[in-house]
Structure 1
Amino acid sequence: MRDDDNARLTAWVHGQVQGVGFRWWTRRQALELGLSGYAGNLEDGRVEVVAEGPHADLARLLDALRSGNAPGWVDTVVERWSEPKGNHTGFVER
């Protein structure tokens, strides 16, 4: 896949990531990169991040999620790459 090809990244972020501003921080990172999608809390304490846009920018978002600069504490990030669906406008917190 080329860096400018559009893709879809789904990332499940494990750690202390709920109630600490993590979704807001993720939204800010995604909007700065021009990505669309959402960050939402899951019942088991993880945050699910779904983002679409150029592969290179999605990789930058993934690096940011793993950087240690996010609010809270990120233990691990599990990722899945797929074809974009194009069903998001902007980036929202859920």
Structure 2
Amino acid sequence: MAKTRAHVFISGRVQGVFFRSTTRSKAKNLSITGWVKNLKDGRVEAVFEGEDDKVKEMLDFCHEGSSAAQVSDVEINWEEYQGEFSGFEIRYEW
């Protein structure tokens, strides 16, 4: 199975609604590696690495988000798979 990497920016009401923790749980269930974090401008940024179909499933999730989220846009940048992550984490730096 081919592997891929997606660098995404999610806009809308995505902070303070458990978006990051829900994303982390979903990623772990799908064996996706990478990270997710809040941005100062109110968006959420994430990097997902894994099997093509699993990454696409994560991107589908990003369009919905957590139950309290209201996603207005998902910007997806496809990148070369690097295999640099050992798990999936929430990052807290700006």
TM-score, structure 2 normalization: 0.90
SS in 2 for 1:49: strand
- The equivalent residue for 1:48 is 45
Q: Hey, what's the Cα distance between the residues in 2 that align with 1:51 and 1:61?
A: 8
SS in 2 for 1:44: coil
Q: Hey, what's the Cα distance between the residues in 2 that align with 1:91 and 1:59?
A: 16
Give the gaps of 5 or more residues in structure 1.
Answer: none
What is the Cα deviation at residue 90 of structure 1?
0.7
SS in 1 for 2:57: helix
Matches within 5 A, 1:12-31: 12-31=9-28
CA separation of 1:69 and 1:87: change in aligned 2, threshold 3 A:
closer
Answer yes or no: is 1:9 the counterpart of 2:31: no
In the comparison of the two structures, how many residue pairs are matched?
90
Shifted more, 69-78 versus 43-52: the winner is 69-78
SS in 2 for 1:57: helix
Q: Hey, what's the Cα distance between the residues in 2 that align with 1:35 and 1:78?
A: 19
Task: From 72, 76, 86, give the equivalent of 1:75.
Answer: 72
SS in 2 for 1:50: strand
Q: State the percentage of identical aligned residues.
A: 37
TM-score, structure 1 normalization: 0.90
Cα deviation per residue 1:15-71 (whole Å; 9 max; x = unaligned)? 0111111000000111110000001111111100101000110000101111x3523
User: Deviating runs (4+, > 3 A) in structure 1?
Assistant: none
